[in-house]
Structures are given as structure tokens and as C-alpha cells.
Amino acid sequence: MSLRPYKAAARTPRQLAGLLAVVLALSGCSVLQEDKIDYKSAKRGSSLDVPPDLTQLSRESRYVVPGAPVTASGYQNAQPTATAVGTAPTSVGDVRIERSGNQRWLVVNRPAGELWGPVRDFWQENGFLLDVDQQTLGIMETDWAENRAKIPQDIIRSTIGKVFDSLYSTGERDKFRTRLERGANGATEIYISHRGMVEVYSTKEKDQTVWQPRPADPELETEFLRRLMVRLGVSEAQAKAVAATAPAASAAKVTKVNNLPALQFTDNFDRAWRRVGLSLDRSGFTVEDRNRSEGVYFVRYVAQLKNVEKPGFFSRMFGATTPEPKPERYRVVVKSDVSDLTTVSVLNAAGQPDTSENAQRIVDLLAADMR
């Protein structure tokens, strides 16, 4: 957590009591933290340095989301239903949750067009602004936001911090991507993936900081899925029970297939396709296109440089700098056999087997997420 230093003049106990009373009045006399999540979007004027791969997707007509504008009847379709005694539910009304490993997603028996408006409102109600809002692609993405609930709430922070909100910072920012896909029988699958950044010191003197990626948080994803269930008509108690259930799936392992890097796990094609898509979202790939019938994701990947020292002053002056890596295109192929053994492999942009180090890195990144 980063904290901006400040100084306070010496005051008598009576003056301190008076100041505290004023601050309490201004802050609404609320000193108790009621929730563990309280997001506030970062100002658009101070953007974070993020990998160049995170660019906005191009429009593609094949993913036009069907359905009509949002109506009140959409919320009435998700009335809670009773479950068998002693059995933990995995669905309530027309909303259910599915799980593979540490990944979860919702399946809602409503048209995607009917859900787009409520999902957009959901993120705005939770303190986010949307940087990507592309209904034709079925993708929306929040801006970078700070979870203010992570700031310890002692008496000073919970009072003065209410008035001088910028005085304290967690040094962390979060971004969430939501993807809506048409599923079987007209249902809509909703995926929420998290990406995080953390502010760290970049010099030994600790006088400068930079933002760098931090691991995705599956618990945050699950919590927002639970909240979205409530937004779609499920009660708080039922949403908590449903989010805690759903069977786990087999972990993915890195292997070699035809002497090429690959990923294998046991799952049918539909679930495998979802797992790989969610892992690509989490891992920061830009998915430019996808062909579910052939099991292919068309992605862009930027290789991260290793052991490269920051250039000195004269190097920067005379142009002797290390060039930034450029994004390269790949195809991530998902195939499942009759025994539900799924193999994930990497092809180059031309659709040929890729033998580069990047292919191995892509497989390793997916395996790390699908643990």
C-alpha cells in the first residue's frame, strides 16, 4: 500500500476533538467497513502503463448478439426454485454456475441481447467505467479501478480519508473483462476475467514507481459472478450457496504431441473451449477472432523480454535502446477426442505447427492458469 506523507500541526485535546467532530460530520459518521469490495475507477487522465498487446478489438459481424432491448420481463424469468433437501444447488431459476478448475462462469437461459443492458449497468453500479463496450463482439471491459476497501480502516483513515480521498492508495488496480457467448438452446454464457496491476519501486532510492502485472484473482471473479447473479434476480443467500458449489475439473498438464508443445486435460469439447477462452482472457491475450466449429482462437501475443537492463542516459540519447517486442499472431487450437481427452496446441499465423519459444510460452501461460 502506498501512502502519501502528510504533516499535522500540534493541537490541544479540545482542538483535536473539535476537528474529529467536523470530520465525522463531513464523512457521514461512518467509520466501519461494511464490505471487502469498494471500487473506484481511476481518473482517465492518468492511465497505467500496460503491455502493448491490450488493444481494442476490431468489429466483427459474425458475433452480432441477438435479442431485443432490455425489458423488465427479463428480470422476472429468474425466480428462485426449490432444490432437493440436502443437495447443494448449482442453479436458481434460469441462472446456473459452472466450474472447471479455478474457473467459473454463468449460464443464463435468456437471449444475450436481453442481458447486455443489465450487465453494463451492473459494472457501473459497482464503481467502474467501461473502456470497451462492444455488443457486436459480446465483450465489455472496465477501466483500471482501485479497491478502496483494501485500505486499513483505522480511526484516522476512516475519517480524514473520507474527506481527503486521494490521501491514501492501495498501490493496486484491477480491470475486468466480461464476455457473453451464445450457448446451447438459446442460453447465454457469461464469463468474467480479472487482470491486476501493482505499483512497485523502480529505483533503489525508492523515489520512482512503475506499474507491473500481478496474477489474476479467481476469488474476485467468483465474487463478481455472485453479485451478477443477484443483479439477475437471484437472492443473496442463494447466490452464495450456488457460487460455492459446482464440480471441479481436471488440471491441465504440459506435454509434447508430435514433438511440439501442447496442453492436455480431460474434458469434453464444449467445456474445454470455455476453459481455454477464459484462460486467454485472464492471461492478457488479444483474441482477434474465434471459430468454435473448428476449435480455433486467433490471438495476438507479445513476448516479454527477459534479463534486459534499462538503458542508461547516453544510450537513450544516441538511440542505442532495445526495441520493444512486436505482437505476433498465433492460432490456439482446441481438439477433444471420443474419450474427452482435450489437446491444446499452438499454430503460427499461417496455420502451420509452431516450433518457436513463444509457442512453449503460450502453452506454459495457459497451463499456469488452468491449474
- 198-234 pLDDT, tens digit each: 988 888 888 888 888 888 888 899 899 999 999 998 8
Q: In sequence order, what are the residues at sequence separation of 6 or more whose Cβ sits closer than 8 angstroms to the Cβ of residue 243?
A: 97, 104, 222, 223, 225, 226, 229
Residue 20: count of CB within 10 angstroms of its CB: 14
Beta 286-291 vs 209-214: how paired, if at all? unpaired
243 shares its domain with 256: no
Across 160-278, the runs of DSSP E, i.e. the strands, are: 168-169, 172-182, 188-201, 209-214, 253-257, 260-266
CA geometry: angle 336, 338, 339, nearest 5 deg: 90
CB-based contact 138:179 (threshold 8 Å)? yes
296 shares its domain with 315: yes
Residue 330: count of CB within 10 angstroms of its CB: 21
CA geometry: angle 110, 115, 119, nearest 5 deg: 145
pLDDT reported for residue 278: 87
Collapse the DSSP code of 326 into the 3-class scheme (helix H, G, I; strand E, B; otherwise coil) and give the result: coil
258 shares its domain with 216: no
Q: CA distances (Å), 279 to each of 158, 201, 283, 295, in order?
A: 37, 29, 6, 15
Q: Is residue 296 part of a domain?
A: yes
Q: Is residue 202 part of a domain?
A: yes
144 shares its domain with 67: yes
Q: Is residue 198 part of a domain?
A: yes
pLDDT reported for residue 238: 83
136 shares its domain with 182: yes
Q: What is the CATH number of the domain that holds 309?
A: 3.30.310.170
358: enclosing H helix or E strand: helix 357-369
pLDDT reported for residue 43: 52
CA-based end-to-end distance of the chain:
29
| Residue numbers in the chain where pLDDT is lower than 70 | 1-35, 42-91, 101, 151-168, 184, 244-249, 304-325
The span from the CA of 44 to the CA of 100, in Å, is: 35
pLDDT reported for residue 101: 67
Per the structure, how many domains does the chain have? Answer: 2
